[in-house]
């Protein structure tokens, strides 16, 4: 993949990218690989041109179908949470959306499987990422609650929409060093949660309060 070509596009927004990175560091993002990727990935290419001037603000933005491209801080935080130096072979993402988080995962993991339930978003992000030259991604149209058994076991699973409960299918699809990060609904709202597989079973850690669109059931087809 000609990654220099991908990462080099849109250099005009250099100052706004630097401002974003300073903000992420202030918010506690430390992993230099993650910081480097967020700094260089052309986020403006994953949103409509009308909003492109806001691409390097630390905000989520609409991508149609009542969905949003995740906030850069959240992409950085979740990616940092699943990053484990010697266990970066196989990742599953649930909620492809714009494909922006997918692009970051694609640079860090050997193989990416990404699932989206809205047909038009699945098609759009697949086209975009292939156009940009990403080659290690399997694009699946489906309901992420099921995971994707064929490509398992996964070193990491990242869910980019808020779940009512921990999807049990996914626990079965992670490796013995596997981890899952997801926004989980509770009585007060949503919490970012990390689940980590260990010799003694799954350990759950609550990270922080978050706001995500809901993880929905089934597939939404074109009108
Ligand atoms: N990472 C994406 C986030 C998009 S918002 C980005 O930064 O652009 C969350 C996405 O999850 C939406 O595209 C939504 O359609 C999708 N989604 C919601 N429930 C899902 C499910 N059960 N299976 C797969 N995708 C789902």
Query: Is 66 part of a structural domain of the chain?
Result: yes
For residue 98, report the distance from its CA to the centre of ligand 1, in Å: 9
* CATH code for the domain in which residue 10 is found: 3.40.50.150
**Best residue for ligand 1 mutational test, from 74, 95, 119, 143 (most atoms within 8 Å of Cβ):** 95
C-alpha separations of 27 from 24, 77, 171, 178, 188 in Å: 5, 9, 30, 26, 23
For residue 95, report the distance from its CA to the centre of ligand 1, in Å: 3
* CA 60 to ligand 1: nearest atom: 7
Q: Are 157 and 137 in contact (CB under 8 A)?
A: no
Query: Is 163 part of a structural domain of the chain?
Result: yes
Query: Is 221 part of a structural domain of the chain?
Result: no
Residue with CA closest to ligand 1 atom 19: 215
Q: By C-alpha distance, which of 155, 219, 156, 216 is closest to 185? A: 216
**Best residue for ligand 1 mutational test, from 71, 96, 144 (most atoms within 8 Å of Cβ):** 96
Query: Is 99 part of a structural domain of the chain?
Result: yes
The pLDDT, as a whole number, for residue 151 is 98
Ligand 1 site, residue 103, Cβ cutoff 6 A: no
Query: Is 22 part of a structural domain of the chain?
Result: yes
The three-class DSSP label of residue 216 is coil
And the tokens for 139?
């694009």
Query: Is 90 part of a structural domain of the chain?
Result: yes
Counting the structural domains of the chain, the total is 1
The pLDDT, as a whole number, for residue 223 is 59
Query: Which residues of the chain fall below pLDDT 50?
Result: 1, 11
Q: Which long-range contacts (CB under 8 A, 24 or more apart) does 162-166 make?
A: 162/190, 162/210, 162/212, 162/213, 162/214, 162/215, 163/215, 164/215, 166/193, 166/195
Catalytic residue status for 125: no
**Best residue for ligand 1 mutational test, from 117, 122, 137 (most atoms within 8 Å of Cβ):** 117
Strands (E), 34-151: 61-64, 67-69, 90-94, 111-116, 137-141
For residue 220, report the distance from its CA to the centre of ligand 1, in Å: 12
The pLDDT, as a whole number, for residue 120 is 97
Query: Is 215 part of a structural domain of the chain?
Result: no
Output the DSSP codes for 95-110: --TTSHHHHHHHHHSS
For residue 216, report the distance from its CA to the centre of ligand 1, in Å: 9
Domain that holds residue 199: 3-209
Query: Is 54 part of a structural domain of the chain?
Result: yes
pTM for the predicted model, two decimal places: 0.95
């Amino acid at each position: 993949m000609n990654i220099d070509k991908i990462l080099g596009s849109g250099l005009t927004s250099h100052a706004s990218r630097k401002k974003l990175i300073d903000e992420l560091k202030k918010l506690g993002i430390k992993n230099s690989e993650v910081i480097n990727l967020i700094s260089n990935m052309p986020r403006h290419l994953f949103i409509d041109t009308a909003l492109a001037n806001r691409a390097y603000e630390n905000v989520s933005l609409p991508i149609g179908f009542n969905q949003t491209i995740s906030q850069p801080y959240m992409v950085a935080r979740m990616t940092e949470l699943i990053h484990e130096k010697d266990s970066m072979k196989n990742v599953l993402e649930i909620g492809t959306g714009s494909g922006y988080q997918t692009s970051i995962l694609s640079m860090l993991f050997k193989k990416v499987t990404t699932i989206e339930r809205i047909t038009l978003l699945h098609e759009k992000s697949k086209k975009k990422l292939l156009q940009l030259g990403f080659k290690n991604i399997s694009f699946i149209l489906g309901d992420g609650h099921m995971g994707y058994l064929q490509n398992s076991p996964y070193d990491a699973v990242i869910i980019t929409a808020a779940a009512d409960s921990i999807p049990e299918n996914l626990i079965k699809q992670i490796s013995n060093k596997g981890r899952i990060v997801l926004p989980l609904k509770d009585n007060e709202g949503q919490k970012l949660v990390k689940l980590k597989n260990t010799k003694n079973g799954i350990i759950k850690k609550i990270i922080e309060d978050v706001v995500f669109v809901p993880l929905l059931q089934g597939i939404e087809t074109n009108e």
